[in-house]
Amino acid sequence: MITWNNLDTLASYQELLGLERVDLAAAMTGENGAERVKNYSVPMAEGMAYNFGAKSVDDKVLEVLAKLADEAQLVDKFAALYNGEVINTGEKRRVLHHLVRGQLGEDVIADGVNKREFYVKQQTDIAAFANKVHNGEITNAAGEKFTTVVQIGIGGSDLGPRAVYLALEGWAKVHNTLKMNAGFISNVDPDDASLVLSNIDVAHTIFVLVSKSGTTLETLTNESFVKDAIVKAGLNPADHMIAVTSETSPLAKSADYLAAFFMDDYIGGRYSVTSGVGAAVLSLAFGPEVFAAFLDGAAAADKLSTNKDIMANPAMLDALIGVYERNVLGYLDTAVLPYSQALSRFPAHLQQLDMESNGKSVNRFGEPINYVTGPVIFGEPGTNGQHSFYQLLHQGTDIVPLQFIGFKNNQMENDVVIQGSTSQQKLCANVAAQIVAFACGKDDEDANKKFQGGRPSSIIVGDQLTPASLGALLSHFECKVMFQGFVWNINSFDQEGVQLGKVLAKKVLAHETDGALKVYSDLLNI
């Protein structure tokens, strides 16, 4: 039987608090450090590995973290989730994003529908539509092929799909699977839509409008902006737009769209990139086969997350180490540092995934909790970040845990030897150097040049960033966030924190303001 208890009531957590702290700088020095790095590594899906040799843990900490995983029933709670129990207590909903890429357990029947079959049908319908566009069966009014796809959405309807498109654009060019260029419009700032529209040929573009409710203010505003541009080009917007929405939204049966594909309330926006939200734009951009490989990678990682052994469940281990850093060691932030330019927007996606999920101060029953929860997430690709904020990471007053991501080979398969090494070798050399520099530090009589060390990091290592490895990477972090939410006994699947501002913005636009809200409205000339 599953029980939902606050972290500070668990015996294993109290045991964690009493453990002796690991001296990371000492542990990572010399042969001991070499053995740690070799031994503290867990296989991930698609040939990747999660290496935590430079984390502030030892065998004793790992032993108690395994107890915590069992006491908090993390794997059992995951099973309850993918078998369709109502895990989203705030909105009284199931949580089913895992079903869009595989069936881990029982069939989930909801609202009289087999949800796995429903999701597969949407993927099949989107794939058929994409193939018709690529084959020239669906064209513009002049009978010409579409060459560009632009997604209109915000939050989870933008960040995940955009990050994935940018992550695979180079790979697709090398493998001749880039079918259409993709663009994204998200911000209600008119400069966003204007700039995208100025860089495309509207006559040869399909626009994908993504709104579950069909009422999202920013998205509908940008849709009107785009429709105006299409009309000004002498075209019919209905020939250039498709919708990804719920079956009950006003967009679902509208004649304003070439086609409509459906999602439901059981997949939250930040978890939706493997659903129709990502399927439409990514299948149009890369082809359905590439999107299917992306789903396969995610499904393989999902399966690993069902393992009760923390040393065979990399997402759960990553989550537990993160809880130890947050709740025992007291670290506020986590920096995500992909040493891959293709992952330039991946930290932004993870920022929403993590902070919107676990930025909670009440438990899943609405009761205040007495411990900290989700960390602040930020990041940039290396080596750019090294010349930006690494100064604070190395010598600042706060210790920030680091999550590196690196690949042995680049995507574009184009490199040169300069000063005895390739660019890729230089990139990877920087990753290795940074991990050791953060962990071990450097003594110096000049205090300005002294590095204390003891700054923990982990690294996810893969051979190459491919559709499948990207899917596995995405699932790893989704499951990590989920497991941490379970440990903290919070609901990781609603986001009431984004609602209040929306309500007040509507009051401002309706000129129903007083007090400070009116003054700020006047200040901004609204």
pLDDT, one tens digit per residue, over 74-114 is 999 999 999 999 999 999 999 999 999 998 999 999 999 99
Average pLDDT over residues 396-419: 96
Confidence band of 264 (pLDDT split at 50, 70, 90): very high
> What is the CB neighbour count within 10 angstroms for residue 409?
12
- State the Rg of the chain over Cα: 24
Q: What is the pLDDT of residues 336-395, one digit of tens each?
A: 999 999 999 999 999 999 999 999 999 999 999 999 999 999 999 999 999 999 999 999
Active site annotation includes 77: no
- What's the rounded Cα separation, in Å, for the pair 240 and 328? 54
Q: Using DSSP, how many helices (H) and how many strands (E) does the chain show?
A: 18, 15
From the list 289, 502, 506, 512, the catalytic residue is: 502
Residue 494 sits at φ, ψ, to 5 deg, of -120, 175
pLDDT at 217: 85
Residue that has been written with the tokens 């490895």 in this structure: 469
Active site annotation includes 502: yes
Residue 207 sits at φ, ψ, to 5 deg, of -105, 130
Q: Is the pLDDT of residue 501 over 90?
A: no
From the list 218, 223, 356, 380, the catalytic residue is: 356
Active site annotation includes 478: no
Q: Is the pLDDT of residue 416 over 90?
A: yes
pTM of this structure: 0.97
- What's the rounded Cα separation, in Å, for the pair 54 and 404? 11
Above pLDDT 70, what percent of the chain? 100
From the list 387, 426, 449, 506, the catalytic residue is: 387
Confidence band of 474 (pLDDT split at 50, 70, 90): very high
Of the candidates 469, 298, 272, the one whose C-alpha atom is nearest the C-alpha of residue 356 is 272
Confidence band of 138 (pLDDT split at 50, 70, 90): very high
Largest CA-CA distance found in the chain, in angstroms, rounded: 74
**Dihedral angle at the C-alpha atoms of 252, 254, 256, 261, nearest 10 degrees?**
20
